[in-house]
């Protein structure tokens, strides 16, 4: 599925050039749209075919039919502050992580539940990160580098640097719990490939950018059997002392290039799971409507010989959005109405074959 890598890079280049173009036709007081991507994979969020939210260095905008409209300035007059991450949980609820350019130091996690009309500095994660810092597991409990949305209910926070911890919420960010912490790591995010997860982190002072695989059953699992923390040195076992179980990015790469290195590894991993068979409507499986205007579509199993089909739907970042089972000559309804508009990949698998279909949802 080489398409995915070419598609991602082409869209990234196109959007970057497009955003620079938009700044030339907007009012003079609009900040030039420039995003320090670093490791962030969320700069633009699509609300409809002609409306999206765009994050610049320290401001959010609506982009409506090619014109930028300011939503919020997070610099508060301090241009050294920038948006480290922008994560829409739903179309109405968004998080914006703001901090200084230099590594380390407190950050602010802003939240809106009304599409940017009002904002609050969300400190709910303090109740979990402060005790971890006091216990010596974190260097700085307010130093958040990244948020990741697994689902509207399940969120992750990647906190601190030399002493790095990962925190999770199962209630949309109202309460947080420590998953695990060790040092040094600089964790930044999770990828998925098949039924496996990959945790990756960036290069730091004295340690390399690395990524390692773990089974989905270990997601949010404790350290009862030493899966996450080496008992004597608090390094992750897979990446301690350059273990071959760890995937290392080449040295002397920018942070964003390290992110792309790991992302491309995941694309290649997905390509190698099995031979991907193209699906044309009417061949074996019929998917309709495509495009879907309400983010609800159906999968018809037309070929009785295929037997039961496992259905999984991923978004363009490889996050699992739907999982289910359909049997021959039955129709499965896929309801993504609570998800973002965009491109989705429908993966259908039986005992012998894997099929892939792309669906556009508005």
Is residue 307 predicted with pLDDT exceeding 80?
no
How far apart are the C-alpha atoms of 230 and 236, rounded to whole Å? 6
The CB density around residue 199, as the number of other CB atoms within 10 Å, is 23
Query: Checking DSSP bridges between strand 331-335 and strand 309-315, what pairing results, if any?
Result: unpaired
d(CA 165, CA 180): 6
- State if pTM tops 0.85: no
Euclidean distance between CA atoms 117 and 108, whole angstroms: 18
At residue 132, the pLDDT reads: 93
pLDDT given for residue 167 in this prediction: 96
Please report, in angstroms and rounded to a whole number, the separation of the first and last CA atoms in the chain: 24
18 versus 246: which is more confidently predicted?
246
Domains of the chain (ranges, CATH numbers) = 3-272 (no CATH), 276-361 (2.60.40.3080)
If one compares 15 and 59, the residue with the highest pLDDT of the two is: 59
Q: CA-to-CA distance for 50 and 66, rounded, in angstroms?
A: 8
* CB-count burial class (<10 Å; 0-12, 13-18, 19+) for 27: exposed
Question: What confidence tier does 37 reach under pLDDT thresholds 50, 70, 90?
Answer: very low
Task: Using alpha carbons, select from 65, 138, 64 the residue that is nearest to residue 106.
Answer: 138
Tens digits of residue pLDDT in 241-261: 666 678 889 888 888 788 888
What order do you get walking across the sheet with 94-100 strand by strand?
A: 81-88, 94-100, 108-112, 120-121
Angle at 16 between CA 15 and CA 18, to 5 degrees: 60
Q: What is the pLDDT of residues 92-132, one digit of tens each?
A: 999 999 988 666 678 999 999 999 999 999 999 999 999 99
pLDDT above 70 (res 318): no
pLDDT band at residue 273, thresholds of 50, 70 and 90? low
According to the per-residue pLDDT averaged within each range, which of 205-209, 223-227, 291-295 is highest? 291-295
φ and ψ at residue 86, rounded to 5 degrees: -130, 120
Per-residue pLDDT, averaged over 128-147, amounts to 92
For the cut 60, the answer to whether the pLDDT of residue 1 exceeds it is no
Q: Residue 183 CA to chain centroid, in angstroms?
A: 23
Strand segments (E) across 153-240: 155-159, 164-169, 177-182, 187-193, 196-201, 210-215
Q: What count of other Cβ atoms lies within 10 Å of the Cβ of residue 50?
A: 10
Please check the confidence at residue 25 and state whether its pLDDT lies above 50.
Answer: no
pLDDT given at position 47: 80
Structure tokens at 6: 């070419």
């Amino acid at each position: 599925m080489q398409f995915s890598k070419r598609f991602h890079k082409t869209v990234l280049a196109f959007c970057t050039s497009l955003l620079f173009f938009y700044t030339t036709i907007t009012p003079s007081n609009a900040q030039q749209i420039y995003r320090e991507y670093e490791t962030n994979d969320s700069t633009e969020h699509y609300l409809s075919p002609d409306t999206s939210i765009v994050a610049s260095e320290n401001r959010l905008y609506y982009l409506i039919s090619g014109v930028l409209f300011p939503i919020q300035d997070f610099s508060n007059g301090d241009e050294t502050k920038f948006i480290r991450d922008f994560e829409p949980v739903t179309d109405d609820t968004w998080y914006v992580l703001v901090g200084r350019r230099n590594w380390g130091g407190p950050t602010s996690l802003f939240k809106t539940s009304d599409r940017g009309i009002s904002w609050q500095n969300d400190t709910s994660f303090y109740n979990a990160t402060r005790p971890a810092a006091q216990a010596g597991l974190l260097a700085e409990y307010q130093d958040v580098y990244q948020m990741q949305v697994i689902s509207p209910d399940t969120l992750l926070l990647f906190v601190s640097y030399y002493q790095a911890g990962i925190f999770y919420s199962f209630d949309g960010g109202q309460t947080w719990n420590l998953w695990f912490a060790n040092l040094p790591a600089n964790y930044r995010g999770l990828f998925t490939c098949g039924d496996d997860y990959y945790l990756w982190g960036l290069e730091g002072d004295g340690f390399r950018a690395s990524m390692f695989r773990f089974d989905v059953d270990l997601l949010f699992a404790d350290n009862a059997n030493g899966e996450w923390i080496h008992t004597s040195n608090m390094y992750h076992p897979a990446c301690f002392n350059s273990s071959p179980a760890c995937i290392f990015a080449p040295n002397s790469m920018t942070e964003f290039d390290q992110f792309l290195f790991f992302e491309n590894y995941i694309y290649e991993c997905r390509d190698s799971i099995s031979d991907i068979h193209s699906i044309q409507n009417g061949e074996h499986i019929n998917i309709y409507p495509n495009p879907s205007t309400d983010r609800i579509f159906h999968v018809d199993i037309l070929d009785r010989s295929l037997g039961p089909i496992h259905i999984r739907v991923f978004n363009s970042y490889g996050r699992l959005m739907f999982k289910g089972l359909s049997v021959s000559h039955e129709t499965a309804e896929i309801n993504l109405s609570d998800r973002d508009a965009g491109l989705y990949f429908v993966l259908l698998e039986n005992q012998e074959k894997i099929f892939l279909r792309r669906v556009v949802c508005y």
